[in-house]
Structure 1
Amino acid sequence: MENAIPLLLRQLPLPHAPTTITIKTRETSNQGSREEPHQYQTSPHCASSHLRFQLSMEDVRATTAWVATHSSHVLVDSAGIEKVVNTIDDIPKVDWDFEGIHYFDNGPLTVQYLFVLDALNFCFWPDKDLNYDDLASGLKAALQNDKSAFDADRLKKYTGPQLRELLKWPRPLPLEDERVRLLHEVGIELERSFDGKACNLVDRCGKSALNLVALVARHFPGFRDHSVYKGRQVFLYKRAQIFAADLWGAFRGQGYGEFKDISSLTIMADYIVPAVLRQLGVLKYSPALASTIDSNGEIGPGTEEEVELRACSVHAVEKMRELISKKLGRQVLSVELDLWLWASGVQCATLQHHRTLSIYY
């Protein structure tokens, strides 16, 4: 990949020190966080909403846009967006499995693998040697060694040490208890509602990525990625969206990856993409936030700063997508931009990202 794809961070001049901007601080109360400190359960503010779940990705776009216009710590710089877009002649093609790290057999077992992968796809940074590739390739090797490793009745019984053994990881994983809990949740609900198979979950969505995200969030509380920000609910759904995006990428838009509305997905707001957008001058941070991030300080889950980092990233990339689509004269997908930005970020060893203990990313 390194030689084949002209990655964004190599195409554009990056500042040696990320720029900051003074943003007027508004006096607000932090009303309700998605996660209490050292608790990683579903927000009580959202506990009843899964009963009917009429999800629209416009909820994600609208609520993240609202955050961007009311933010106290993060600024979406329109001039920065235009500057980046002006340098783009095309979106480099980044293959979904560019490193060969994923399991793929073009069938139901791949769907099961991807759902387990995305159930565990969060919070690698506390272990400096652990990254997404370790998770993806570790699960791939486990499945190649034992095709029943991700059967629902086994997922609901794994312990922390057993998960470590599955991944061949020599020490406790970050948020290991939560990872085990989420595996149990996946196994129990797959068995209860989908005959133990994630492919049945996908079949039920009617080739709609939007329906799949809503279905995942309805049945699996660990995927309900939303917050309360200045009294308003904000929707992000990173891991539910990335499951749909992974299917689309793995199956190349066919079979289990065929979605008539793949354009409805937004980017998957994590800790890599905001850092890339900052380096590009698309996001500007307040001095206090910049100092916290640059000194490797932790930012609490559900705090204003954390919600703004993620929500402003979604909104900024939506603005980028609109301008790039207009410039190129064709539709550009948010999922394409997400993979492009993320792939650029993970190859930048000096990228300074925010640090939040969260099960959502």
Structure 2
Amino acid sequence: MVRSGILPPAESSKFISERAENVKIHEDGLDKLCQEMFSAIKDNKLQIPDTGTDAIHPNKDHPRAVDWVFVVDTLNFCFWSQSKEEQWTVNGHTGYFALEAALHRAIQEGHDITNPEYYSKITEEQLTHILRGDTSAKIPLFKERVSVLHEVGNILIEKYDGTFEKCVKEANKSAIKLLEIVVNNFPCFRDEGVYKNQRVSLYKRAQILVADLWNFFDGTGWGEFNDIDKITMFADYRVPQVLVYFGVISYSDELMDKLSKDNLLVSGSEEEIEIRGCSIHAVELLKLKLSQLIKKSGQNFDVPNSSLIDYYLWCYRRKHAKEMEKIPYHKTLGIFY
């Protein structure tokens, strides 16, 4: 249990998927995607993806590498724009990679962006300069980003000696323990809601923080977690698009009409929770199917955990961006993804 009285993400997603009215999970779509991923496993292509972005973040030997990952994932939310003309870009990068590029540039320019003593008091003018883009387009939810930096910075100073390393040490190589520390102590990571009178959690940013540490440090040192397989996928707005593409999930006509018209879904609304919850449960089912298929094949492949499956699907969307354009994705303004 991560938070008392709230179902953890895997249990939340099962609860949501069993009651969802606007989103359905389909067995044939799961089978299709399972075969696609099994082929990737056989070709040794289902690994932590090489995104070619090493130049826009420090390496794992940087003295503040853990705090770098923490700051990036504190700000890792809501990059979408209504049109390509309004898209925020940094050195040609978009979305999350634009954020990495901006923060890496800040370090190179001498801004102490990994230090909570600095960012707990950062001004709008300072953050505007750090997050400046290639054009006049601005990063969405700018004031919220200032606010979350102040929030987490002050908490790190007050409780954790000014470094996220102390949180990781307290977790003692447990991904679930670190998740618990994060959501219990940093409110801006508390991605929770109420669905059918049940308190549920999705914890996209908190879980991706844990998985990013695991990924960044290659599962060793600061990134060594004995229970990383207990982390679910990261319920954002792009991975569900891939799941729809493969027929793993489908939307009701009413919901699809809203998405096609670019109607915003309110954060915490039933439709939004159903999309994200069903996506998490679909990946849990996919992981089970892959395990069964690998066992049946008699080959000695490792079963990918939910984090690896998520990374694969997220990168699949980027590689096949043109094909994905015909599938609308949900848009929600909020700090949780």
Partner in structure 2 of residue 359 of structure 1? 335
Partner in structure 2 of residue 201 of structure 1? 167
Out of 62, 71, 79, the residue aligned to residue 116 of structure 1 is 71
Work out whether residues 60 and 217 of structure 2, in 8 Å CA contact, stay in contact via their aligned partners in 1.
no
SS of the counterpart of 1:90? Answer: helix
SS of the counterpart of 1:340? Answer: helix
In the superposition, the TM-score normalised over structure 2's length comes to: 0.87
Partner in structure 2 of residue 146 of structure 1? 110
Work out whether residues 191 and 201 of structure 2, in 8 Å CA contact, stay in contact via their aligned partners in 1.
yes
Work out whether residues 157 and 163 of structure 2, in 8 Å CA contact, stay in contact via their aligned partners in 1.
yes
Partner in structure 1 of residue 311 of structure 2? 339
The Cα offsets for residues 167-197 of structure 1, whole Å up to 9 and x where unpaired, read as 2334543111111100001110110111111
C-alpha root-mean-square deviation of aligned residues, in Å? 2.0
Work out whether residues 216 and 223 of structure 1, in 8 Å CA contact, stay in contact via their aligned partners in 2.
yes
What's the offset of the Cα at 1:232? 0.8
1:208-223 equivalences under 5 Å are: 208-223=174-189
What's the offset of the Cα at 1:346? 2.7
What's the offset of the Cα at 1:148? 2.5
Change over 3 Å in CA distance of 1:98–1:337 after alignment to 2: farther
Aligned mates of 1:338, 1:191 — CA distance in 2 = 32
Work out whether residues 70 and 209 of structure 2, in 8 Å CA contact, stay in contact via their aligned partners in 1.
yes
The Cα offsets for residues 317-338 of structure 1, whole Å up to 9 and x where unpaired, read as 1000110122123422000000
Aligned mates of 1:95, 1:106 — CA distance in 2 = 20
Work out whether residues 194 and 201 of structure 1, in 8 Å CA contact, stay in contact via their aligned partners in 2.
yes
1:282 is the counterpart of 2:248: yes
Work out whether residues 265 and 330 of structure 2, in 8 Å CA contact, stay in contact via their aligned partners in 1.
yes
What's the offset of the Cα at 1:260? 0.5
Partner in structure 2 of residue 166 of structure 1? 130
1:171-190 equivalences under 5 Å are: 171-190=137-156
Change over 3 Å in CA distance of 1:160–1:147 after alignment to 2: closer
Work out whether residues 77 and 281 of structure 1, in 8 Å CA contact, stay in contact via their aligned partners in 2.
yes
Out of 244, 254, 259, the residue aligned to residue 225 of structure 2 is 259
1:17-166 equivalences under 5 Å are: 53=3, 59-87=8-36, 88-91=38-41, 92=45, 93-95=47-49, 98-100=52-54, 101-126=56-81, 127-130=86-89, 131-146=95-110, 148-166=112-130
Instruction: Looking at secondary structure, tell me which structure has more helix per residue.
Output: 2
Q: How many pairs are equivalent? A: 310
The Cα offsets for residues 140-164 of structure 1, whole Å up to 9 and x where unpaired, read as 1212332623211111111223212
Moved more, 171-180 or 217-226: 171-180
Partner in structure 1 of residue 283 of structure 2? 317
Aligned mates of 2:228, 2:63 — CA distance in 1 = 20
AA matched with 1:154? Y
Unaligned residue ranges in structure 2 (runs of 5+): 90-94, 296-301
SS of the counterpart of 1:89? Answer: helix
Work out whether residues 32 and 246 of structure 2, in 8 Å CA contact, stay in contact via their aligned partners in 1.
no
AA matched with 1:340? Y
Partner in structure 2 of residue 191 of structure 1? 157
The Cα offsets for residues 180-236 of structure 1, whole Å up to 9 and x where unpaired, read as 100001110110111111111111110111111110111100000011011111111
Work out whether residues 273 and 341 of structure 1, in 8 Å CA contact, stay in contact via their aligned partners in 2.
yes
Identity of counterpart residues, as a percentage?
Answer: 35
AA matched with 1:94? I
What's the offset of the Cα at 1:108? 4.3
Segments of 4+ moved more than 4 angstroms:
none
